[in-house]
Chain A
Amino acid sequence: MDWITTVDHKKIAILYLWAGGLFFGIGGLEAILIRIQLIKPMNTFLDAQTFNELITMHGTTMIFLGVMPVIFALMNAVIPLQIGARDVAFPFLNALGFWTFLFGGVLLNLSWIMGGAPDAGWTSYTPLSTTQYSGTHGVDFYTIGLQIAGLGTLIGGINFLATIITMRAPGMSFMRMPMFVWASFITSAIILFAFPAITVGLVLLTFDRILEANFFDTSAGGNSVLWQHIFWIFGHPEVYILILPAFGIISEVIPTFARKRLFGYSSMVFATILIAFLGFMVWAHHMFTTGLGPVANALFSVSTMLIAVPTGIKIFNWLFTMWGGQVRFTTPNLFAVGFIPTFTMGGVTGVMLASAPADFQFHDTYFVVAHFHYVIVGGLVLGLFAGLHYWWPKMFGRMLNETLGKWTFWTFIIGFHLTFFVQHFLGLMGMQRRVFTYLPNQQFDLLNLISTIGAGLMGVGMLIFLTNIFLTSRKPADAPDDPWEDGRTLEWTISSPPPEYNFKQTPLVRGLDAFWKEKTSGHKTMTPAEPVGPIHMPSATILPFLMSVGIFIAGLGFMFSRDDFGNAFMGFMFNNYLVTAIGLVITFGSMLLRSLYDDHGWHIEPEELEGR
């Protein structure tokens, strides 16, 4: 019950982590099934329809329900601590964002047991995703589930933006913010401007499918390429939503374990901003083969390649940070160091793909699959591993086991390269993606076998990580405040895990790497910026949960509104939009309650603070 009503950013972080982890596990199982099917030519392990459903759900689940929530988990756990705040700007909305994400994800995955999962690829290209070619409710689950989950993401993004703008501790100017906060700030801004586009896209597709509108139906004047534009105007920025937080994590972990300040801090900030900005101008590099013409292709090609410049700046800054530092290879740092070459390889193939004529060869082959997995798994997932190992003691008060951590790293990274390195060559030799099997003797056989073995090894790495978590959770929570001993930022100045109010007294920030600054000038703690006083806390509430349940019910109701039900009562409820109405009443009713009964929260008094 505690967990359903909580509005504490640290608990919401843990909720995001478990929920994201669960979906990540589901997406991982789907990936393993895909790889088993492709282990040998003409395999009959899966049929074509199931395979299509699996790749669609794998991509969708991993991106929207797996890695994004884990990013949000780290942001929630870390941002308020790093900026010296007691909470986020809107604790209520924070909880609401989590629950809408969760119920959207649950809705999407219900498709497996309610008549078929979406099968048009995670990009849901029209006309493949129209009722004509995808007749089950699968794609409806996709559009409505993602719509609901996306709402949660948008709420989260706005919340982080407001938090970072207004709640920084005294003295923390923008140019003294830790890089992870900067990365989260820019990421949230991208979310704000990219997610509304997919919101509209999903609405249009829903209307085409359920209300028989004609946006993408060429026979009634619609335009199929329109979907691709809308999808990628969101979709390309989305990849920066994923990778920038990883950049932020790497920029925290490397200086800590090199005992040196981040090289080129301000160039890192501006590179991040530039990447975000350029990220909005390159969407059509996913559409070189749709026939936009040579001029458009050339422009998008060049603008895409430009992104390599700020990205390169970042890579070199990390290398220079380590240069001459006293580097310690703890588990988080292993992941961070492993990130650099792996992500760079993904970047290099990205530039290859950005060359329009070359892309005509690479498009829809395994080369593309290899590319984005180098970026997403070799970049983001390694970054998330680094961040999780790094902040685990802060989040849970327990250090993860270092030996198991190193095993996780080596099995995962070896498995990763085995899986995806060979896919570059499969792609160059002409193996198409999204095809459920292939003919023997095209030289695809051995490389596919290797790829599947690698996938298994990655699975083993995940299992070791889970074992580590399990074993750690049974030990006493005795991590010190600054468990890595070289912590540089504010989160390491308070206990692990932090008390619910985070900071007894808001700290005074005197420079970049605020805590390091105090340490080097001989202080053991931060100077407080305020006397000890009563601390205001928001009260727990079930309303965010209820609002999300309402949206979930409304979504299901709308989805089945045109179905023929054998059962008269069911037909009556759904066909007259009564189920939808019930859901909306629950949601709006909860909003009304929220607005009628203002809740002023409660206070923790100074005596109580001193008592601890």
Chain B
Amino acid sequence: MTTAHAEGAAGNLPHEPEKATLEGRNKVLAFWLFLGGESVLFGTLFATFLALRNQTNEGPSANDLFHLPLVAAATFLLLVSSLTSVFAIQAMHRGKVTVLRNWLLVTVFLGLCFLVLEIYEFSVYVRHEEFGMTTSAFSSAFYTLVGFHGAHVAFGILWISVLIGQLARKGLTVVTAPKIYVSAMYWHFIDVVWVFIFTVVYLLGKVG
């Protein structure tokens, strides 16, 4: 079985280092499978939200709450962070470790900004609109769906940060490359889910 003793010197790395070992290929494959499961997870949350989105229990409705410019800004941040993670992977394929690290840092930074906006948004709802978890079935569904996504973002930030640390310690190898590649896949997935949230929760909430 393939062990990856190939160290540091990025120049010697194959073009797609994430798929150079069986372990790496397994990781990528398993991660695709995992994302299949995650899709069911979010699918169920979306279905729940759709079933309950008009059950406001005399509390605020989507139309009362949502402030589209704020959400649009958050969306923009997240979409750009997906792009920067693509740049990171491209740099990885070219073996440019510093460029890779920098793009990862930018990605993490954008993710953090997104998270800050979301926390701000939630806090406004809770403090000024009296819209908490317990207000209505709609509020429960909203916080759970959007919060789950937010938790995914937070986890992604932690994860990529650890990988940046790992990159500094161990360099780009056939062991670290699959992890970075897979975390980028995860980040895209989070982004796609957000596009659905933006449409189904916010746009539909404003117009539907």
Contacts and interface: CB of A to CB of B under 8 A. Distances in A.
Interface of A: 86, 89-90, 154, 158-159, 161-162, 165-166, 192-197, 199-201, 203-204, 207-208, 211-215, 217, 220-223, 226, 230, 233, 535-536, 588, 592, 595-596, 598, 600-601, 603
Given A192-B36, A196-B40, A598-B175, 12 more contacts: A158-B37, A161-B33, A165-B29, A207-B144, A213-B134, A214-B134, A214-B137, A215-B52, A220-B137, A222-B137, A596-B162, A598-B170
B29 to A, nearest CB: 5
B48 A212 contact: no
Contacts of A221: 52, 55-57, 136-138
Nearest to B55: A221
A600 B3 contact: yes
Contacts of A195: 37
Nearest to A208: B140
A230 B48 contact: yes
The 5 nearest A-B residue pairs measured at CB: A221-B55, A221-B137, A213-B140, A536-B1, A196-B41
A165 B26 CA distance: 9
Interface of B: 1-5, 22, 25-26, 29-30, 33-34, 36-38, 40-41, 44-45, 48, 51-52, 55-57, 133-141, 143-144, 158, 162-163, 165-166, 169-170, 175, 179
Nearest to A601: B3
Given A158-B34, A196-B41, A600-B3, A211 B133 contact: yes
Given A162-B33, A193-B36, A213-B140, A226 B133 contact: no
B41 A211 contact: no
Which of B40, B45, B170 has its CB near the most chain A CB atoms (within 10 A)? B40
A162 B29 contact: yes
Contact of A214 (B33, B34, B136): B136
Contacts of B30: 89-90, 158-159, 161-162
A560 to B, nearest CB: 19
A222 B33 contact: no
A528 to B, nearest CB: 16
Contacts of B143: 213
Contact of A207 (B2, B44, B51, B133): B133
Contacts of A222: 52, 55, 137, 140
Contacts of B2: 536
Nearest to A501: B1
A196 B26 contact: no
B25 to A, nearest CB: 6
20 contacts: A158-B37, A166-B26, A192-B33, A192-B36, A192-B37, A193-B40, A196-B41, A197-B41, A211-B134, A214-B139, A214-B140, A215-B52, A220-B134, A221-B138, A226-B48, A226-B52, A230-B48, A536-B1, A536-B3, A598-B175
Contacts of B57: 214, 220-221
Residue among B2, B34, B44, B51 having the largest count of chain A Cβ atoms under 10 Å? B44
Nearest to B30: A162
Contacts of B158: 588
Contacts of B141: 215
Contact of B144 (A159, A203, A233): A203
Contacts of A212: 133-134
A596 B169 contact: yes
Given A161-B33, A221-B56, A536-B1, A201 B44 contact: yes
Contacts of A161: 30, 33
Contacts of A192: 33, 36-37, 40
Contacts of B48: 200, 204, 215, 226, 230
A204 B2 CA distance: 43
A89 B45 CA distance: 30
A220 B25 CA distance: 49
A212 B140 CA distance: 9
Contacts of A165: 29
B26 A200 contact: no
A200 B3 contact: no
